[in-house]
Structures are given as structure tokens and as C-alpha cells.
Amino acid sequence: RYISMFRPFVKHEAEKNKAQWKTMGPAKVAVPSPKNFLQKHSKEPKLPARKKEQESKKLPALSVPQRTDRPVMGIQSKKNFINANAVAAITGLPKKPQPTCVDSRQGDKYLLETSGLVPKYIKKKDYGVTPKYITQRKEEVKRAQEEYEASILEHLKKKAMKRLSDEERTSLLQGLKKNWEEVYREFQCLPVEIDTIPKKLHKEKLETQMKQLEHDIEVIEKHKVIYIANE
């Protein structure tokens, strides 16, 4: 049996480096202190410190006097307020009561001026006068009607009747007769037995065209002078 000559060397190297495979990094690691445990909200972002309120947000100074303020002393008035009040009451006009309206047996009352029973609106200067916006609107409607009538007259003038000449009447009559012959030829080509709906509709259509053409030919032959709208 074959035995490698390097077997003792490999065996020696394996036993030599066996302890290095037991751990990753240094053999001795510092154990963390039990006092450095993870605390609540320790990983949340901290807000910046709150600034102090600005001076503009301070309350305005009150107009009432302070406790330490002293009134001005030494000012006296020689006015007799009792006599003055009595004279004012005697010479003053009596206060007129406001007119009220009672609308129930229990005595419910309300002011008469704001009730709508006083005809104060008819005393206004512009009462019964037509407002300006209504007059302006009537003028606009009248102007629009006049413009519309003018446009209609112009349109009618453009579409005035035009008389056909003899050459045009003859060519028109020949064209109608030619169309009647073409329709009649197509009508003659129809089958003897009309057994389907499309055939029946086609026959009715040809008959209607022939009647219309015959009517037009009769009208043109009957009237020597023909007027048409000038478009």
C-alpha cells in the first residue's frame, strides 16, 4: 500500500494549528459592563433645544394704573353737579318712546320701524324710477335686434331671385330627361319576381326617383320663365 512521505509533516501541522480555529479575532474579549444596558428612547433623534420666546410676543403693557401709582392730588372743581343735573333734567326735552306694534293677545310687541309696516321706501327720491341697468339692458336688446334684422336683409339681398336663361333651361331639362332614362333603364332591369325585401326597397326607391324626375320635368316644361335663388 502506498504511504505518502509527507504524512508525518501534515499530521504535525494539523495538531499545531488546531487551537487557532476555535475563535475569530483575539482570544480574550472585554466583557461589557452590566451598567451599560440599552435604555428606552436612547436611539431616537433628539430635538434641538427650545429657543426662548421673542420679545415681540410679549403682552402689551396694560393701560390700567398699577398698584404703586398715586393719583394726582390737589385738583378740585367748583362745579355743583347736583344743580347742573337738575337744570339739565328740567330744560331737556322728554325722551320719546319708540313706536311699537303688538301682534298677539299676550302682548308680544316689536319695533314698528323694522316691521315693514311703515311706508318709508316710497319716500325715497328714486322710488318708482327705472334702474339704470334695466334701461341699459333694454338698449342692448334693441341694438341686437336691429343688427339681426340688418343681417337678415343683407342675407336676403344676397339670395335674390335669378332668372334662368333659355339655354340654361334647355340644358336643365335635357339633364332631367337623361337622368329619368337612366333610372328607367335600371327599373327595367329588375327581375320579374320581387321575392326579397332588398329588391322591394330598391324598386320603391327607383319608383320614387322616377316620380320626382317626372314632376320636375313637367314643371319646367309648363313654365317658360323660371327664377332660382342666387346662392
Specify if 18 maps to a domain: no
Single-letter amino acid, residue 9: F
CA 92 to chain CA centroid, Å, is 62
Q: What is the predicted pLDDT for the residue at 58? A: 66
Measuring CA to CA, how many Å separate 42 from each of 37, 48, 62, 103?
Answer: 10, 15, 46, 76
Across the 231 residues of the chain, what is the mean pLDDT of every consecutive 10-residue run? 88 76 64 88 86 63 80 82 92 88 85 84 84 93 91 77 81 91 90 86 91 90 75 58
Q: What is the predicted pLDDT for the residue at 180? A: 92
Q: What is the predicted pLDDT for the residue at 182? A: 92
Residue of 179, 197, 195 whose CA lies nearest to 187:
179
Single-letter amino acid, residue 189: C
Specify if 32 maps to a domain: no
Q: What is the predicted pLDDT for the residue at 26? A: 60
Q: Is the pTM of this model over 0.85?
A: no
Q: Residue 220: give the domain boundaries.
A: 162-228
Q: What is the predicted pLDDT for the residue at 125? A: 84
Specify if 196 maps to a domain: yes
Q: Which residues pair with 186 in a beta bridge?
A: none
Evaluate whether 161 touches 228 at the Cβ level (below 8 Å): yes
The angle at the Cα of 114, spanning 96 to 93, to the nearest 5 degrees, equals 10
Please state the domain count of the chain: 1
